[in-house]
Amino acid sequence: MQNNQQKETEKMTDNHILSIKNLYKNYGSTEVLKDINIDIDEGEFLVLVGPSGCGKSTLLNCIAGLEEITSGTIEIAKLDMSSVPPKDRNIAMVFQSYALYPTMNVEKNITFGMKVRGESATAQKAALENVTEILQIGDLLKRKPAQLSGGQRQRVAMGRALVRNPKLFLFDEPLSNLDAKLRVEMRGEIKRLYQKLKTSIVYVTHDQTEAMNLATQLAVMKGGELQQLGPPQEIYDKPNSIFVAGFIGSPAMNFIEGELQIDGKAKFFKTQLNNEEILISIDHYQFESAVSHGQKLTLGIRPEYITGIKPDVDDKMLLSVELIPTLIETNGFDKHVDLKFGDGEIGGRFMPQEQISFNEAHLTHLNFSKISIFDRLSGWRV
Amino acid sequence: MTNLTMTNITVQYSGNKPKKLRFWHKAARYSLYILLILFALFYIMPLFVMVITSLKSLDEIHQGGLLNLPENITFEPWFVAWSSACAGVSCNGLKGFFFNSVLLVVPAVFIATLIGAINGYALMHWRFKGSEIIFALLLFGCFIPFQIVLLPMAILLGKMHLSGSITGLIMVHAIYGIPFTTMFFRNYYMTIPVELVKAAKIDGAGFFRIFFSIFLPLSPPIIVVTIIWEFTNIWNDFLFGISFSAAGTQPITVALNNIVNSTTGVKEYNVDMAAAIIAALPTLLVYIFAGKYFIRGLSAGSVKG
Ligand SMILES: Nc1ncnc2c1ncn2[C@@H]1O[C@H](COP(=O)(O)OP(=O)(O)OP(=O)(O)O)[C@@H](O)[C@H]1O
Ligand SMILES: [Mg+2]
């Protein structure tokens, strides 16, 4: 009862542009989305990210009303939209394949929706002029989609969404058909547009770099379930599962397997390196759940904490060992090096001026001041 | 060793082609042409005989020489066939029946094509429970032989008071054409991305708006294919024509049969030939003028968006 009241007041004061509660979606007997809960404030840029087939597009289509949901509710701008047709949801969508109407020229593509909704010719003209200026597509207006390049089509598709002036923009992998250079360019353009228009966006991608770059809120999905939702930096720093930790960040986080050792008040992560037992002090790590002596754990450490230059941290949190490089990649501002570590490998980031040779042992410092620790069996953060 | 072989090969390809090889290449090419020309002649022979026979007088025909060109070209048989040949009791030539066929074919083709287009669009892009089954059943309709539906259709037409009318025939042909036209359009619309429909739905367009504004403008290639297919089938149909028509409503194929078979006195081969050509001319012309679109439409997907 009290709980309910609390919820009510929360609802009065919150600022959610999108609120998804207990959403399930089945195709026949296969569950494609399982118990999705997402709340997003107005003006947020939510990116849904996850491996192929995890249900991102399905979720977006459910928000758009293009797919019926099996159970749960979807609110857009505080209105229950769970069973409202797409045209009345106050949304606009940009598709991966652009989905421009092939027989209409750019101008007609952009104004088609307004025409269908019966808006006046003057309103259409004004809206067209507005987006033409924002997107710089003035000289394309009379062309058919087939006569446009990928980037231009992308821009027109965004124009079609912009004239709608919706409460919520939906993007389904809008950049994945572009080449690498154009993709980075358009990514910047979308971000600039977002900062200028201050709209709310839900954006789907399977590219974690794109996700990190664009998002103000990041939702990581796997197998139809929401794994973690939060600001990108928080997810990068404190991934709540091995899956999220491995998916977000490039090069990927390193995982070391071991177990928990509790010595009186002191906690250690015990692991093996070349038949030698190593104890890593993890007193500084804030456990989020109860752990016990001997519990099987996986320790995650990002490559930027594995370096050749000794970092300025307490020796207790440092492991300095000679490791053998198996792969050296240079990109100009640092070197990504994979090193043999016990039976496996770990990747570190080294300064470009450091002399590192393939197969020659190199003194490497593992800085454990910022780590993530997971329960090895469940895969969740502890 | 390997090196040697390699150089050998390069020499062969970069140097001049051996003369002998070129000769055989040409020989093969020309024999192919000759063969193709022979086949073409063989196929055109009946038409050739029909045309020259229709331009001869009866006397000349009776002299024999089936393949001889006419000595005195006469168009009389054509006029007779068009306006005064006797089909059964009436002796007004083909012209009335020609227009019967036009009156029958145009609406039947139009209806079958339009319904096929809407069906194909709905079955492909507005899936509902059982839409796959409906399509499968419709496809089954393509394989039902004419003979099976004759009797039930006759009863149905009787109940609808359409027996012996052109309207009845239009209905029969339109219905019989729908499985084919639906299949054509559905398969064509399969190449149109679903996102197009999604985008239009978000833009606020409904079922028919999307069809008329987006799908129909993309459809000319398949419309041409469908029209040619349906036109040819319905124009050339004899069985439905003879089963469901009455004295004044017979299509041209039935009339042609009557002209050729109503033998009072001598058989006028020249008139028969002229009549047969007149009856076949529309389908022939359709193929000549739209044939290339037919091939193109069959192999074309939709435009990419
Ligand atoms: N119409 C459908 N019928 C049955 N299963 C479907 C249907 N559409 C999607 N699925 C299944 O739902 C799952 C999620 O699909 P979805 O398209 O949402 O994935 P995604 O995360 O967008 O992947 P991608 O990154 O490849 O686009 C997939 O396993 C897919 O096979
Ligand atoms: Mg997808």
Q: What is the pLDDT of residue B262?
A: 73
Whether this model's ipTM surpasses 0.95 comes out as no
Instruction: Residue A201: name the closest of A230, A173, A232, A168 by CA.
Output: A168
Please tell me the number of Cα atoms within 13 Å of A304 on its side-chain side: 6
Average pLDDT of the segment spanning B114-125: 96
Q: What is the rounded average pLDDT of the residues A352-370? A: 93
Window from A66-75, A370-379, B11-20, B105-114 with minimum mean pLDDT:
B11-20
Q: Is B39 strand, coil or helix?
A: helix
The shortest C-alpha distance from B286 to chain A (Å) reads 27
pLDDT value at residue B17: 60
pLDDT number for residue A274:
85
| φ/ψ of residue B296, rounded to 5 | -65, -45
Distance of residue A139 Cα from the nearest chain B Cα, in angstroms: 19
Inter-chain touch B304–A96, beta carbons under 8 Å: no
Q: Is B129 within 8 Å of chain A by CB?
A: no
Q: Which of B198, B203, B302 sits opposite A113 (nearest CB)?
A: B203
Smallest CA–CA separation between A66 and chain B, in Å?
7
Q: Tally the C-alpha atoms within 13 A of residue A335's C-alpha that lie toward its C-beta.
A: 20
* Dist. CA A76–CA A88, nearest whole Å: 11
* pLDDT higher than 80, residue B303: no
What confidence tens digit (pLDDT) does each residue in A278-294 have? 999 999 999 999 999 99
B167 is written with which tokens? 């309207």
Using the predicted structure, report yes or no on whether residue B11 has a pLDDT greater than 90. no
pLDDT higher at A63 or B298: A63
Whether cis (ω within 30° of 0) applies to the bond prior to B217 is: no
Number of Cβ within a 10 Å radius of residue A380: 15
Of 3.40.640.10, 3.40.50.300, 3.40.630.30, 3.40.109.10, the CATH number of A15-246 is 3.40.50.300
Average pLDDT of the segment spanning A22-34: 95
pLDDT of residue B2: 39
How does residue A231 score in pLDDT terms, banded at 50, 70 and 90?
A: very high
pLDDT at A3: 53
Least confident range of A43-52, A249-258, B85-94, B155-164: B85-94
Does the pLDDT value for residue B301 go beyond 70?
no
pLDDT per residue as tens digits for the range B166-201: 999 999 999 999 999 999 999 999 999 999 999 999
Give the separation between CA B226 and CA B293, rounded to whole angstroms.
11
- The minimal CB distance from B203 to the residues A95, A102, A112 is found for A112
C-alpha–C-alpha distance, residues A46 and A78, integer Å: 17
pLDDT at residue A297 in the model: 96
Mean pLDDT of B54-59: 89
A55 CA to centre of ligand 1 in angstroms: 5
Cα separation, B6 vs B229, whole angstroms: 55
Phi-psi region of B60 (alpha: psi -120 to 50; beta: other; left: phi over 0): alpha
- By percentage, how much of chain A surpasses pLDDT 90? 82
pLDDT at B85: 84
Q: Mapping DSSP to helix (H, G, I), strand (E, B) and coil, where does residue B228 land? A: helix
A:B CB pairs within 8 Å: 70
- Distance in angstroms (rounded) separating the CA atoms of residues A300 and A330: 24
Chain B closest CA to A285's CA: distance in Å?
A: 48
Nearest CA to A104 among A138, A133, A140? A140
**pLDDT given for residue A1 in this prediction:** 45
Q: Tell me what pLDDT residue B49 has.
A: 92
Query: How confident is the model over A38-89, as pLDDT tens digits?
Result: 999 999 999 999 999 999 999 999 999 999 999 999 999 999 999 999 999 9
Which pair of tokens denotes residue B35? 């063969």
| CA pseudo-torsion sign A26, A32, A35, A39 | negative
- pLDDT in the model for residue B4: 40
**B80 touches B92 (CB < 8 A):** no
* Residues A13, A18, A23, A28, Cα dihedral to 10°: 160
Specify the residue with its C-alpha closest to ligand 1, atom 24.
A52
> pLDDT tens-digit profile of B247-263?
889 999 999 998 888 76
Residue B3 pLDDT more than 50? no
A266-280: average pLDDT: 91
The residues of A whose Cβ lies within 8 A of any Cβ of B are 61, 64, 66, 85-87, 91-93, 95-103, 112-113, 116-117, 145-146, 160
Cα torsion for A148, A153, A155, A156, to the nearest 10°? 90
Pairing between β-strand A16-27 and β-strand A71-76 as defined by DSSP bridges: antiparallel
Residue A2 has pLDDT above 60, yes or no: no
B40-75 burial string, b = 16+ CB within 10 Å, else e? eeeeeeeeeebebbbbbbeebbeeeeeeeebeeeee
Put simply, the chain B residues between 194 and 253 with a CB less than 8 A from any chain A CB are 195-196, 198-205, 209, 213-214, 217-218
Task: Pick the atom of ligand 1 nearest to A59's CA.
Answer: 18
**Residue extents of the structural domains in chain A:** 15-246, 254-375
Q: Do A92 and B202 touch (CB under 8 A)?
A: yes
Nearest to A66 among B198, B213, B305 (CB): B198
pLDDT at residue A14 greater than cutoff 90: no
Would you call B199 and A101 a contact, using CB atoms and an 8 Å cutoff?
A: yes
Instruction: Name the 3-class secondary structure at B163.
Output: coil
**Residue-level pLDDT at A6:** 54
- The answer, yes or no, to whether residue A216 has pLDDT greater than 80, is yes
Is the pLDDT reported for residue B302 higher than 70? no
SS (H, E, C) B81-143: HHHCCCECCECCCCHHHHHHHHHHHHHHHHHHHHHHHHHHHHHHHCCCCCHHHHHHHHHHHCC
Whether B202 and A86 lie within 8 Å, measured CB to CB: yes
pLDDT of residue A27: 93
User: Using the beta-carbon criterion (under 8 Å), do B205 and A103 form an inter-chain contact?
Assistant: no
- Average pLDDT for A93-117: 94
Distance from CA of B293 to the nearest CA of A (A): 19
Q: Phi/psi of residue A17, each to 5°? A: -85, -30
Task: Tell me which residue in A61, A99, A146 faces B199 most closely, judged by beta carbons.
Answer: A99
B227's enclosing H/E stretch is helix B220-236
Residue of chain A minimizing CA distance to B208: A116
Report how far ligand 1's centroid is from the alpha carbon of A244 (Å).
Answer: 20
Q: Mean pLDDT across the stretch A303-316?
A: 92
Residue A13: band (very low, low, confident or very high) from pLDDT cuts 50, 70, 90: low
The Cα B201–Cα B199 span in angstroms is 5
Is the separation of the CB atoms in A16 and A168 below 8 Å?
no
Can you give the pLDDT at residue B10? 43
Alpha-carbon separation of residue B238 from A139, A217, B250, B253, B273 (angstroms): 57, 70, 10, 6, 18
Ligand 2 centroid to Cα of residue B193, in Å, is 14
pLDDT in tens, B65-98: 888 888 888 899 999 999 888 877 778 889 899 9
A265 confidence band (pLDDT: 50, 70, 90): confident
B214 vs A101: CB contact, 8 Å cut-off? Answer: yes
Chain B residue with minimal CA distance to A148? B305
Indicate yes or no: CB of A101 within 8 angstroms of CB of B305: yes
Say which residues have a Cβ less than 8 Å from residue B72's Cβ, sequence separation at least 6: B56, B57, B60
Atom of ligand 1 nearest to the CA of A221: 21
State the virtual CA torsion across B50, B56, B58, B62 in degrees, nearest 10.
Answer: -80
What pLDDT, on the 0 to 100 scale, is given for residue A12?
56
User: Structure tokens of B171?
Assistant: 């209905």
Encoding tokens for residue B174? 């339109």
Residues 6+ apart with CB under 8 A from A64: A86, A89, A91, A93, A170, B198, B202
Mutate to test the pocket of ligand 1, among A47, A52, A58, A61 (most ligand atoms within 8 A of CB): A58
Taking alpha carbons only, the member of A202, A170, A22, A304 closest to residue B195 is A170
For the stretch B204-251, pLDDT in tens is 999 999 999 999 999 998 999 999 999 999 999 999 999 999 888 999
Tell me which ligand sits closest to the C-alpha of residue A206. Answer: 1
Contact B203 A97 (CB under 8 A): no
3-state SS, one letter per residue, for chain A: CHHHHHHHHHHHHCCEEEEEEEEEEEECCEEEEEEEEEEEECCCEEEEECCCCCCHHHHHHHHHCCCCCCEEEEEECCEECCCCCHHHCCEEEECCCCCCCCCCCHHHHHHHHHHHCCCCHHHHHHHHHHHHHHHCCHHHCCCCHHHCCHHHHHHHHHHHHHCCCCCEEEEECCCCCCCHHHHHHHHHHHHHHHHHHCCEEEEEECCHHHHHHHCCEEEEEECCEEEEEECHHHHHHCCCEHHHHHHCCCCCCEEEEEEEEEECCEEEEEEEECCEEEEEECCCCCCCCCCCCCCEEEEEECHHHEECCCCCCCHHHEEEEEEEEEEEEECCCCEEEEEEECCEEEEEEECCCCCCCCCCCEEEEEECCCCEEEECCCCEEC
Nearest C-alpha neighbor of B116 from the set B29, B172, B187: B187
Q: Nearest CB to A101: which of B196, B198, B304?
A: B196
pLDDT, position B300? 60
The span from the CA of B157 to the CA of B244, in Å, is 8
Mean pLDDT calculated for residue range A79-104: 94
Query: Can you give the pLDDT at residue A7?
Result: 54
Assess B114–A contact: CB distance below 8 Å, yes or no. no
Q: Which residues of B touch A160 (CB under 8 A)?
A: 199, 203
CATH of A254-375, one of 3.10.290.10, 3.40.1180.10, 3.40.50.360, 2.40.50.140: 2.40.50.140
Say if CB A330 and CB A282 are below 8 A apart. Answer: no
